Amino acid sequence: MLIRVGYEIAVEVAAPTAVYSYLNVHPEHRQDVIWSSFGQPNASSFRDIHGNECQRLLMEPGETVFKYDAVVKVDGAPDFFDDDADQVNPNDLPMECLAYLLGSRYCETDRLSQIAWKRFGHITKGAHRVRAICDFVNSYLTFSYGYARSTRTALEAYEERVGVCRDFAHLTITLCRALNIPARYVNGFMGDIGVAPDPSPMDYNAWVEVFLDGRWFTVDARHNQPRIGRIVVARGCDASDIPLFSTFGPHQLKRFEVWTEEFDGKQPTMQRQAPAVRTSSRYGPAGRSPLDLGVSSFVHAMI
């Protein structure tokens, strides 16, 4: 299957401002990108401690527009999960998994440990624990873009019982880690492929990977069903590791459009046209600010 992904993001600053960004597909997908087009300022790149590609640049005063358009080949299969997989004793885990057992900025394992063991400690097999956690988070939290708050932690999501995709991910991660299951935060492109179209699509999502029986599995308590065509951009301990942007100074997010859609390969000019089912704003009714609809969850300002 071919999937077309991309974005057009406009950021405005009043003074020269440094920015770090995670915007392009993860290096593991590099060999699967069969066509791409960039329209963004020159930036230097480096690999971070989690293996992601990060870009950094200095934005000049005024509006800076970041553009990306690509066609990526994927296997077209739904997320795979092995219901017979068991968790690995912490003493036997690969060293690279240990960081994903610890508490982090948005995942307070110490504050939710007793709750995790009380709710899920009786379940012995790792895969069954993870399934139970995802079922619980999916039914326990109420989703709405209007609930977006970039400072909400897993404990606060648990107490408030609301959130957006990153809150579903953080709570899932925290409960898994509290039960000694390594879990990491993932963001990337995921459209309405193989499911009914969402009238207010969020084509950029956050989900979770858990380590069981020697490999990582994708789980997603927000949707709580296997999905087709996830394309990873970055992974980390939680959202603080991999925001789309980290700006070291004030900024205004002027425009934010992201697309993820199946590509038929019949458009030789590669000019993308949004499907008719989309609304005039990719993130809800026309006139709504992207920040009202959850995009702020992916943007950090260091001021």
Residue 84 belongs to a domain: no
Cα distances (Å, whole numbers) of residue 93 to 17, 32, 99, 111, 151: 41, 30, 11, 24, 31
268 plus 233 within the same structural domain: no
Phi-psi region of 180 (alpha: psi -120 to 50; beta: other; left: phi over 0): left
Structure tokens at 182: 């390594």
Q: What is the CATH number of the domain that holds 144?
A: 3.10.620.30
Element (H, E) at 207: strand 204-212
Residue 81 belongs to a domain: no
Domain that holds residue 272: 2-76+243-301
Residue 82 belongs to a domain: no
- When divided into structural domains, the chain yields a total of 2
User: What is the full per-residue pLDDT of the chain (303 aa) written as tens digits?
Assistant: 999 999 999 999 999 999 999 998 999 999 999 998 887 677 899 999 999 999 999 999 999 999 999 999 999 999 999 999 999 999 999 999 999 999 999 999 999 999 999 999 999 999 999 999 999 999 999 999 899 998 999 999 999 999 999 999 999 999 999 999 999 999 999 999 988 877 666 689 999 999 999 999 999 999 999 999 999 999 999 999 999 888 999 999 999 999 999 998 765 445 555 443 333 233 333 333 333 334 444 555 433
Q: Residue 199 in contact with residue 274, Cβ under 8 Å? A: no
Q: Residue 219 in contact with residue 80, Cβ under 8 Å? A: no
154 plus 27 within the same structural domain: no
Return the pLDDT at 299.
55
Q: Residue 79 in contact with residue 218, Cβ under 8 Å? A: yes
Residue 83 belongs to a domain: no
12 plus 109 within the same structural domain: no
Q: Residue 42 in contact with residue 71, Cβ under 8 Å? A: no
Give this prediction's pTM. Answer: 0.88
Return the pLDDT at 282.
35
Domain boundary among 241, 256, 271: 241
35 plus 176 within the same structural domain: no
Return the pLDDT at 273.
52
| Encoded amino acid at 215, one letter | R
Domain boundary among 241, 266, 286: 241
Residue 85 belongs to a domain: no
Residue 168 belongs to a domain: yes
Range list of β-strands (E), 53-92: 53-59, 62-73
Closest CA to 107 of 21, 188, 166, 20: 166
115 plus 227 within the same structural domain: yes
Return the pLDDT at 89.
97
Domain boundary among 241, 261, 287: 241
| Torsion sign, CA atoms 210, 212, 214, 217 | negative
233 plus 99 within the same structural domain: yes
Burial of 180 (0-12, 13-18, 19+ CB in 10 A): middle
Return the pLDDT at 167.
97
199 plus 128 within the same structural domain: yes
Residue 25 belongs to a domain: yes
98 plus 236 within the same structural domain: yes
Cα distances (Å, whole numbers) of residue 151 to 74, 110, 156, 265, 277: 34, 18, 9, 41, 32
Residue 225 belongs to a domain: yes
221 plus 125 within the same structural domain: yes
Whole-angstrom distance, CA of residue 130 vs CA of residue 110: 19
199 plus 59 within the same structural domain: no
Q: What is the CATH number of the domain that holds 43?
A: 2.60.40.2250
287 plus 213 within the same structural domain: no
| Adjacency order of strands within the sheet including 62-73 | 33-38, 62-73, 2-13, 252-262
Q: Residue 114 in contact with residue 248, Cβ under 8 Å? A: no
143 plus 186 within the same structural domain: yes
Radius of gyration of the chain (CA): 19
| Adjacency order of strands within the sheet including 53-59 | 44-47, 53-59, 17-21, 245-247, 299-301
Q: Residue 222 in contact with residue 207, Cβ under 8 Å? A: yes
